[in-house]
Amino acid sequence: MKYFATITVIGRDKTGVIARITGFLFEQKANIEALEEQVTRGQFSMTLQASWKPADLDAPAIRAGLDGLAQALGMEVKFRFTDPARRQRFALMVTKEPHCLQALLAACRSRRLKADPALVIGNRPDLQPLAHEAGLPFVLVPWEDRAQAEGKALRLLEDAGIDFVVLARFMKILSPNFVWRHKNKIINIHPSLLPSFPGPQAYRQAYETGVKIVGVTAHFVSMHLDEGPIIAQGAFRVRPGMTLKGIVAAGQKLEAQVLVKAVRLYLSKKLDVYWGLVKEV
């Protein structure tokens, strides 16, 4: 038996951060399972997975030591235990389209998804009745000021003990500052077969270019818009005379199916992200 924890470090880039954090964890008899770091426009971000044998774990000393390092480095250092055997808690982020939220909630009720939805965050109030009908708290977070909105959303996720996030047709772009705090734990659905037609109006682009196959892509959110590691895809043929409205309707039905499939794959713990690619292990 092992105890697992996730540690995130975010702040202005400076020399020696990785050495300071990993050196401290070595002193605390931790085994580093995985480490990923990146510098984006001067911001250093690191996500680290560590484990301990039960006899070696001194949680208060680890928390105190990491708090001290955060202060010394002038950076944010978060430490959270993760239990691989525990049912995952997830948050849904939405705007106004209900089909993906409905499909995920139905999959949870039918136990096709073995995880617990714990929170719905919306940048518009449209889907509040649907969340409340499912017995879930709904928090309206206006997105006019992205930094302020993301700060509030991050606090909500932390307070709710969220393990991963699903963007159920959430129509706002998340910053690197947000994404790095939940690296490879934010799942999005995009209405095209990426890398074709990134960004908004993907169905319209497909319709106007006359493609014969239209699809959708579930992927992990990364620093770059609609370029994150692909988890699952689905497609349908465009019939002769099919209108844009018909394409959108068929696409939305497929979005819900593929997003549920992607969350099931994520929960299976058989996905590994390696050099920007998702591999089933």
Choosing from 13, 116, 126, 226, which is the catalytic residue? 226
The total of other beta-carbon atoms located within 10 Å of residue 133's CB is: 9
Kindly state whether residues 125 and 231 are assigned to the same domain: yes
Residues 207, 239, single domain; the answer is yes
Pairing status of strand 164-167 against strand 186-190: parallel
- Between 97-111, 139-153, 257-271, the lowest mean confidence (pLDDT) is in 257-271
Question: 198 is written with which tokens?
Answer: 């990134």
Do residues 65 and 128 share a domain?
no
Residue 29 has pLDDT above 50, yes or no: yes
When pLDDT is averaged across residues 268-274 and rounded to a whole number, the result is 65
Residue 56: CB atoms within 10 Å: 13
pLDDT at residue 269, rounded to an integer: 74
180 pLDDT band, cuts 50/70/90, is confident
User: Do 78 and 93 sit in the same domain of this protein?
Assistant: no
Whether residues 211 and 144 share a domain: the answer is: yes
Q: What average pLDDT score do residues 125-153 get? A: 97
Domain limit, last residue, from 82, 112, 132:
82
In the beta sheet, which residues pair with residue 178? none
Per-residue pLDDT at 270 = 64
Q: Is the pLDDT of residue 137 over 50?
A: yes
pLDDT at 279 over 90: no
For residue 279 the two structure tokens come to: 């591999």
Give the sheet arrangement for strand 230-237, strand by strand: 138-140, 115-122, 88-94, 164-167, 186-190, 213-220, 230-237
Tell me the C-alpha distance between 270 and 134, whole Å.
29
pLDDT (tens digit per residue) in 63-72: 999 999 999 9
Q: Do 213 and 274 share a domain, yes or no?
A: yes
Across residues 153-180, what is the average pLDDT?
93
CB atoms within 10 A of CB 277: 9
H-run or E-run covering 107? helix 99-109
Q: What is the pLDDT of residue 1?
A: 77
195 lies in the same domain as 267: yes
The residue to which tokens 């991963």 are assigned = 164
Dist CA 257 CA 233 (whole Å): 10
Query: Do 175 and 260 sit in the same domain of this protein?
Result: yes
Task: State yes or no: is 58 an active-site residue.
Answer: no
Q: Where is the domain boundary, 53, 82, 111?
A: 82
Predicted confidence (pLDDT) at residue 54 exceeds the cutoff of 80: yes
Asked if residue 183 and residue 140 are part of one domain, the reply reads yes
| Structure token digits, residue 112 | 């096709």
Question: What pLDDT band is residue 86 in, cutting at 50, 70 and 90?
Answer: confident
> What's the confidence (pLDDT) of residue 274?
53
Tell me if 183 sits within 8 A of 38, measured CB to CB: no
The bridge status of strand 76-82 relative to strand 3-12 is antiparallel
Q: Which domain holds residue 52?
A: 3-82
pLDDT digits (tens, 9 = 90+) for 193-241: 988 888 889 999 999 999 999 999 999 998 777 778 899 999 999 999 9
Closest CA to 69 of 43, 38, 42, 46: 46
Q: What is the pTM of this model?
A: 0.85
State which amino acid sits at residue 155: R
For tokens 């934010």, name the residue: 186
Domain count, the chain: 2
How many Å apart are CA 98 and CA 133, to the nearest integer? 13
Of the three residues 63, 82, 101, the one that is the final residue of a domain is 82
The CATH number covering residue 260 comes to 3.40.50.170
Q: What is the CATH number of the domain that holds 64?
A: 3.30.70.260
Whether residue 11 is found in the same domain as residue 115: no
Verify that 151 and 255 share a domain, yes or no.
yes
pLDDT band at residue 84, thresholds of 50, 70 and 90? low
Residues 209, 250 within the same domain: yes
Question: Once rounded to an integer, what is the mean pLDDT over residues 143-154?
Answer: 96
Confidence of residue 275 (pLDDT cuts 50, 70, 90): very low
Give CA–CA dist 23/194, Å, rounded: 40
**What is the pLDDT at residue 141?**
98
